[in-house]
Amino acid sequence: MDNIETETYYLVDFENVHEDGLDCAKQLGDHNHICIFSTEKAPKINVETLQSFNNNDLMLHNVPAGDQSLDKHLIAYLGCLIGKNSSKKCEYIIISKDKGYDDIISFLKCFTSSTITRQTKITPPRNKTVTTNKNTTSNKNAATNKPTTSNKNTAANKNAAANKNAASNKTTSSNIKTQLNAAIHCGISEQKYDKTVANKVASIVVKNYKNVSYLNDVHNALRKMYPDDYLAIYNIVKPIIRKYPPFTTLQEPENFKFSADYVENLPFELKFLYTQIKLKLEKALYASNISRTVALFACQHYKENNYKQSIYSFLISKYGQPEGREIYNYIKDIL
Q: 90 to each of 26, 31, 80, 123, 270, how far by Cα in Å? A: 20, 10, 13, 16, 30
Q: What is the pLDDT of residue 2?
A: 44
In terms of DSSP bridges, do strands 57-62 and 32-38 run parallel, antiparallel, or are they unpaired?
parallel
Axis crossing angle, helix 214-225 with helix 230-241, rounded to the nearest 10 = 150
Q: What is the pLDDT of residue 254?
A: 46
Q: How many CB atoms lie within 10 A of CB 17?
A: 20
Encode burial over 90-108: b for 16+ CB neighbours within 10 A, e otherwise: bbbbbbbebeebeebeeeb
Q: What is the pLDDT of residue 136?
A: 44
Q: What CATH fold (topology level) applies to the domain 2-131?
A: Rossmann fold (3.40.50)
Q: What is the pLDDT of residue 176?
A: 78
Q: What is the pLDDT along the chain (335 residues), one digit of tens a residue?
A: 444 478 999 999 999 999 888 887 777 877 889 999 998 888 878 777 777 776 668 888 889 988 899 999 999 999 999 999 988 899 999 999 999 999 999 999 988 889 999 999 988 765 444 343 444 444 444 444 444 454 555 555 555 555 555 444 554 667 778 888 888 999 999 898 999 999 999 999 988 887 766 777 888 899 999 999 999 999 899 888 877 755 343 344 444 455 667 787 888 888 889 988 988 888 777 877 788 889 988 988 888 888 898 899 888 888 777 788 889 998 998 88
- Amino acid in position 51: Q
pTM above 0.75, yes or no: no
Cα separation, 79 vs 101, in Å, equals 13
Q: What is the pLDDT of residue 157?
A: 56
Q: First vs last Cα of the chain: how many Å apart? A: 37
Q: What is the pLDDT of residue 98?
A: 95
CA 53 to chain centre: 8
Using DSSP's 3-state secondary structure scheme, residue 243 falls into: coil
